[in-house]
Amino acid sequence: MELYEGSLDVNRIFSTWLAQHQEENYGAYIPFVGIIRQEDGIEALSFDIYEPLLLAWFQKWEARAKEEGAIVKMAHAVGDVPIHTSSYVSAVFSPQRKVALRLIEAFVEDFKANAPIWKYDVKEGKRIYAEQRSTKMNGAGILA
Amino acid sequence: MVTVEFLGPIGHAPIEVEASTLVEVSEILKSNELLAPWLEGCAVAVNDVLVTERNFTLKEGDCISLLPPVCGG
């Protein structure tokens, strides 16, 4: 798991991952790139991350992927990420494509729902919490 | 004493409180008008492990983290 200040260098990350694992006899390498869209007048999105819990979440996914002979990879941006650049990339390597195709979908969807990351719209230089687009984590409300 | 920290957009400095269960932490936070509105949406971690039981027993020095709704990617 890799965290970077600002936009991700997608080409460098993907080529590094490929170089790391291409001799390990995986038949499929399926990358996913999340790109900041221009909508609702934003200049950028901005992110806060709680790294200890994100790492724990990611390690569970590493274990789940390992059971199927696969590996998962991810990188995410911290701070401001301008529109039309990437804030999030992930990938799955697996011996056969069907496992990787299935895992990449489950991995990305679980990431959206459960990774401890907070998103803000950036408008006129101000950060506005994207509350309407956010999802309560498992167990939310136990202190209410 | 236990420490309560407020992650992401809550924007509140950590506080130290006397509490032996999460129920007691809840009572303290409900009385804070800045923090009370966040409680319904927040998940809770104790020492970086998510907890889903209100009766969870705390020990001296524990760190309780409040995690508001998330949106990565």
On the question of pLDDT at B73 being above 90, the answer is no
- Kind plus residue range of the DSSP H or E element containing A15: helix A10-21
Tell me if residue A90 falls in helix, strand or coil.
strand
Residues of A in contact with B29 (CB under 8 A): 143
Which amino acid is present at A38?
A: Q
- CA distance, residue B60 to nearest chain A CA (Å): 19
The reported pTM is 0.93
Domains of chain B are 2-67 (3.10.20.30)
User: What pLDDT shows up at residue A113?
Assistant: 87
- CA distance, residue A23 to nearest chain B CA (Å): 29
Residues of B in contact with A115 (CB under 8 A): 70, 72
- d(Cα B13, Cα B7) in Å, to the nearest integer? 9
- DSSP secondary structure, A42-53, as one string: -SEEEEEE-HHH
Q: How do the domains of chain A map onto residue ranges?
A: 2-131
What kind of fold does domain A2-131 have according to CATH?
Answer: Aldehyde Oxidoreductase; domain 3 (3.90.1170)
- d(Cα B68, Cα A125) in Å, to the nearest integer? 23
pLDDT in tens, chain A (144 residues): 999 999 999 999 999 999 999 999 999 999 999 999 999 999 999 999 999 999 999 999 999 999 999 999 999 999 999 999 999 999 999 999 999 999 999 999 999 989 999 999 999 999 999 999 999 998 999 999
